[in-house]
Amino acid sequence: MAAFIFLIALFTLMPSTLPADAAETSEAALLITVDRSGKGNYEKIQDAIDAVPSNNKEVVFILVKPGIYEEKIVVPADKPFITLSGSNANSTILTGNDSGNIIESATLTVLASDFVGRYLTIQNTFRKHGVQAVALRISSDRVAFFECRILGYQDTLLDEAGRHYYRNCYIEGAVDFICGNGASLFERCHLHTLSEEFSAITAQRRESPTEETGFTFLGCKITGERTGILGRPWGPYSRVVFAFTYMSNVILPRGWDDWGDASKRSTVFYGEYKCYGAGANVSRRVEWSQKHMPEEVKLFLTKNISGRRSWIRSTPKHFKKSFAAISINSTQHS
């Protein structure tokens, strides 16, 4: 269980997301605006991201004005320290309809470290049972999302790799809709199941006992339109913990599934601690799930762990002009 303590403790130990030189010299973030109407620096989100220099060392704040942006967006690995922000998730919508490939179908792909997403809806509108259609893919370290809506059906959120933090996000889907091998904390998030046939909220993919990865859900809420389970193991050492989480009656009494491989029952860790609601009764859970966690984990979960966010940038209060390459009301990329 020391490994799961690490999973939550790493949010306390992470360094600041600001690069050392930028933290010392930059008093304001570089501001880029995206507006479909042509009143910003760019009309497309991808064009704004492309304007950020490779190996960027300054905090860049991309403000996305309300609108529906039908784009496949990629934040490249060589462009860290970007914040992508709307002002209201209900009115700032990034949308796609790609499917069939868990890596390539994502509407938004984050490959850069130190990325922050705020007040956005990120969705993949493709709906077919058994077909992968990712809304958001994250494959980088120190990434955070606040007040976002992440919508899809199968594999909605591919939390692929790295340390991630989600707060007050609404995440919707059906089959394995939070999946991958990240080390991720979901705090006060709302998880909503949609399945017409089978619903699994998580499919965590930890492959070996040495990997410090897993999903922790803290103070979350689970609702749905159909019944489902809390998770099943994509990887043989899958790890998921739900703590202080409201579970409606959509959660089936068995709680968890071994994905047809009984050998994984002895290597996964599925924990529940002080959850409540009609779906939180552990008396009929599968016998191989962890109904009770060791005292050391309980003590850690009840501590004040606000320091876990020390590596996450706050919203800038001051801005300076964007890169010289960007011209106001630019239309060359429309």
Maximum alpha-carbon separation in the chain: 63
Catalytic residue among 176, 257, 258, 261: 176
In sequence order, which residues have a C-beta less than 8 Å from that of residue 236 and are 6 or more positions away?
A: 206, 207, 261, 263, 264, 267, 268
Q: What is the DSSP string of 83-121?
A: EEE-S-TTTEEEEE---S-TTT--SEEE-SSSEEEES-E
For residue 179, the number of C-alpha atoms closer than 13 Å in the C-beta half-sphere is: 24
- Paired sense of beta strands 319-320 and 29-34, if any: parallel
Q: Write the DSSP symbol of residue 152.
A: -
Our answer to whether residue 141 is catalytic in this structure is no
Q: Which of 47, 155, 159, 257 is catalytic?
A: 155
The four Cα atoms 288, 292, 297, 299 give a dihedral, to 10 degrees, of 180
Catalytic residue status for 176: yes
Catalytic residue IDs = 155, 176
